[in-house]
Chains A and B, each alone.
Chain A
Amino acid sequence: MSELAKPRQFRGLLKRTITGLILVSVALAALYAGKSAFWLLASLLGVAMMVEWSGLLQVERWKTLVAALLLGGSLLFIHPSIRLIDGYTIFALAGCAVAIALIGSSLRLGMGLLYIGLAIVAIVFLREQNGIELTLWTLAIVWATDIGAYFSGKAIGGAKLAPTYSPNKTWAGLIGGIASALLVSSLIVINSLLLPLWLIPLAGIFAIIAQGGDLYESWLKRRAGVKDSSGLLPGHGGALDRLDGLMPVSICMAAILVMGLLS
């Protein structure tokens, strides 16, 4: 049933906006500082997401603890002054993922560690290897997708995107997210002296990937029968809720860069 926007539908929007602004400020400050600050924020969020992931899988506490320790331990080694982001880092993460999958006898727990670990490695790699502008572009695309999808979904509504996985996502939201990502991408790339023009259309693909990440996490939550992955961020749920789109996008961006496609 599609309805025009009513105040009720934007309930919690104020809280959500205020928390959102604070989160964005913290992220931007860490992004600007780079090095230890950015690594620390990314790693802490990674560990928080690991805990939330374990929660969604409803595994025992000790398994959660082991998974968080394995991920946190791996992320210590990508500190910018030690940084060995290369094939070995990926192998180490894969090793930890296999270990926790076996110890916890849960394939999904192992996959979660690998997925979250790769995402954190990717975003730190982007920041420390490719610099602030490209990382800012990546973050901005995901944020633009989220915001565009949220408002166009609420305002337009219409046909559901994937009711089996997530009851609230609409086609209008997906298209609004893509449009918003393309717009923000154009603004950033045109005003940047360094970013290449082909990033503009890439934002459209990344918007779809971001929404795919969002959808996947919604499905995990639905299976677990919860609305939010945790209450870590007031109005936004948990770290997973907020970073579900960024994770696959940063992995894709880092993969594109590693394959040398930017040069």
Chain B
Amino acid sequence: MSDRRRITILGATGSVGQSTLDLLARNPETFEVVALTAYRDVAGLADVARRIGAHHAVIGDEALAGDLAAALAGSGITSAAGAEAICEAAAMSADLVMAAIVGAAGIRPVMTAIEAGTTIALANKESLVSAGSLMTEAAKRRGVTILPVDSEHNAIFQCFDHDRPEGIASVILTASGGPFREWDRAAMRDVTPERAVKHPNWSMGAKISIDSATMMNKGLELIEAHHLFNLQPDDFRIVVHPQSVVHSMVEYCDGSVIAQLGSPDMRTPIAYALAWPERMKTPCERLNLAAIGRLDFEEPDTERFPAIALARAAMEAGGARPAILNASNEVAVAAFLDGRIGFLQIAAIVADVLERYDPSAPTALDEVFAIDEQARAYTRERTEKEAA
């Protein structure tokens, strides 16, 4: 028996997966890799599986089963393919499952890992936004700890007194404010997709850049925070902080505010989750506050950024609302990126769908997926009618 920490990475070829593997490769005597999964990137998956010495590798696309087996031939690494095989990998005995699959495809594997009783490092936001209540109920029932990897929630997790939550007054998420922080709505109306994807502090994919520009990203994080940290909806606040140095804060009833700060490098929160409850060294750039000089904060403007208000309402109402918000937003953002709708119409369309589509609270993951699908279909109709 090895006393190394046994890690499984779901979504090993994505950005969080790669950062995780980078940290694991630097500490081979501390970590052992049980299983790695990817959706379609056979070459990338086989390559990292060989280099890190994983025991098992799974490709999501069943048609690629043969390719993966061929790529791993002679390595002694077992392989499998398909969505079911990814869930089986998630259920394999491990000390930590890094859930880094992007999108709704990540939901069922996360639930499987929770049901298996494994500690989760959670980077898949849909699990909490769309299926938050089901996830947190299952985690509570199985006594599973969810370690958030997202920089804001990881910051809150680090500042949060988990043993004495009654002393906590509020949780304050910081938001960069996105590229249009100082723009008025008239200027935002004519924004092009090219302009909107440019983020001041982080380099990110197109979808999340648009979410940052509309501030829907922060709204979705608000919902995630509500599921991760059991406080009243009113106790979650957002403050705009353009430098993104303070990753988030927890305010206590005596007036103390505890914040977590750091350079914008995903490897810091990933390392926190990998080593928890201990700490591990990372090669991340050290924070130099003197060089930064000043930190600014301001109130978010829900008039200019209605996505925040939509997300807050969805968080307060609960049930199926957050899942609809997330699915509808994804379709609307895609329509904006394709040039079919304007920037301001993203939030307007999501608001229309939320107002008119009112299913019951999902009681099982299947219902979450059905609601997600239906919300997407309705949003596509809404978008077409808008564009026509």
Q: Taking beta carbons and an 8 Å cutoff, which residues of A are in contact with B?
A: 34-35, 80-84, 86, 128-133, 192-196, 257, 260, 262-263
Q: In the complex, how many residues of chain B place their beta carbon closer than 8 angstroms to a beta carbon of chain A? A: 23
A81-B361, A129-B374 given; name 16 further pairs at CB < 8 Å.
Answer: A34-B360, A80-B361, A82-B363, A83-B363, A86-B364, A128-B360, A129-B360, A129-B367, A129-B371, A130-B374, A131-B357, A131-B358, A131-B359, A133-B356, A193-B382, A257-B374
How far does the alpha carbon of A132 sit from the alpha carbon of B320 in the complex, in Å? 14
Please determine whether B360 and A80 come into contact, CB atoms closer than 8 angstroms: yes
Interchain nearest-CB distance for A260 vs B (Å): 7
Please determine whether A133 and B374 come into contact, CB atoms closer than 8 angstroms: no
| Per-residue A-contact encoding for B376-388, CB less than 8 Å = 1, 0 else | 1110111001000
- Could you list 27 examples of A-B contacts with CB < 8 Å? A80-B361, A81-B360, A81-B361, A82-B363, A83-B363, A84-B363, A128-B359, A128-B360, A129-B367, A129-B371, A130-B359, A131-B374, A132-B356, A133-B356, A133-B357, A193-B352, A194-B352, A194-B353, A194-B356, A194-B378, A194-B381, A196-B377, A257-B374, A260-B373, A263-B373, A263-B376, A263-B380
How far does the alpha carbon of A132 sit from the alpha carbon of B357 in the complex, in Å? 7
How far does the alpha carbon of A257 sit from the alpha carbon of B353 in the complex, in Å? 18
How far does the alpha carbon of A260 sit from the alpha carbon of B373 in the complex, in Å? 9
Please determine whether A194 and B357 come into contact, CB atoms closer than 8 angstroms: yes
Interchain nearest-CB distance for B200 vs A (Å): 34
Interchain nearest-CB distance for B324 vs A (Å): 9
Interchain nearest-CB distance for A137 vs B (Å): 12
Please determine whether A131 and B364 come into contact, CB atoms closer than 8 angstroms: no
Please determine whether B374 and A196 come into contact, CB atoms closer than 8 angstroms: no
Q: Determine if B73 is an interface residue (Cβ-Cβ < 8 Å).
A: no
How far does the alpha carbon of A211 sit from the alpha carbon of B11 in the complex, in Å? 52
Using CB atoms, name the residue of chain B closest to A196: B381
Interchain nearest-CB distance for B155 vs A (Å): 35
| Per-residue A-contact encoding for B343-368, CB less than 8 Å = 1, 0 else | 00000000011001111110110110
Using CB atoms, name the residue of chain A closest to B378: A194
Interchain CB contact (< 8 A) of B382 among A131, A194, A257, A260: A194
Q: Determine if B370 is an interface residue (Cβ-Cβ < 8 Å).
A: yes
Interchain nearest-CB distance for B108 vs A (Å): 15
Using CB atoms, name the residue of chain A closest to B364: A84
How far does the alpha carbon of A42 sit from the alpha carbon of B48 in the complex, in Å? 56
How far does the alpha carbon of A81 sit from the alpha carbon of B382 in the complex, in Å? 29
Please determine whether B370 and A262 come into contact, CB atoms closer than 8 angstroms: no
Using CB atoms, name the residue of chain B closest to A263: B377
Please determine whether B359 and A129 come into contact, CB atoms closer than 8 angstroms: yes
Main secondary structure of the interface of A (DSSP, over half): loop
Interchain nearest-CB distance for B42 vs A (Å): 28
Please determine whether A81 and B363 come into contact, CB atoms closer than 8 angstroms: yes
How far does the alpha carbon of A35 sit from the alpha carbon of B364 in the complex, in Å? 16
Interchain nearest-CB distance for B366 vs A (Å): 6
Give me the 7 closest cross-chain CB pairs, A-B, nearest first: A263-B377, A80-B360, A128-B360, A194-B378, A131-B357, A263-B373, A196-B381
Please determine whether B360 and A83 come into contact, CB atoms closer than 8 angstroms: yes
Please determine whether A34 and B358 come into contact, CB atoms closer than 8 angstroms: yes
Using CB atoms, name the residue of chain B closest to A32: B358
How far does the alpha carbon of A86 sit from the alpha carbon of B362 in the complex, in Å? 13
Please determine whether A86 and B359 come into contact, CB atoms closer than 8 angstroms: no
Please determine whether A132 and B358 come into contact, CB atoms closer than 8 angstroms: yes
Given contacts A129-B370, A129-B371, A194-B378, contact A35 B356 (CB under 8 A): no
Interchain nearest-CB distance for B208 vs A (Å): 24
Interchain nearest-CB distance for B385 vs A (Å): 6
Interchain nearest-CB distance for B332 vs A (Å): 13
**Residues in A neighbouring B378, C-beta threshold 8 A:** 131, 194
Interchain CB contact (< 8 A) of A262 among B366, B371, B377, B382: B377
Using CB atoms, name the residue of chain A closest to B372: A263
Using CB atoms, name the residue of chain B closest to A126: B359
Interchain nearest-CB distance for A221 vs B (Å): 35
Using CB atoms, name the residue of chain B closest to A35: B360
**Residues in A neighbouring B356, C-beta threshold 8 A:** 131-133, 192-194
How far does the alpha carbon of A187 sit from the alpha carbon of B233 in the complex, in Å? 40
How far does the alpha carbon of A86 sit from the alpha carbon of B364 in the complex, in Å? 10
**Residues in A neighbouring B360, C-beta threshold 8 A:** 34-35, 80-81, 83, 128-129
**Residues in A neighbouring B377, C-beta threshold 8 A:** 196, 262-263
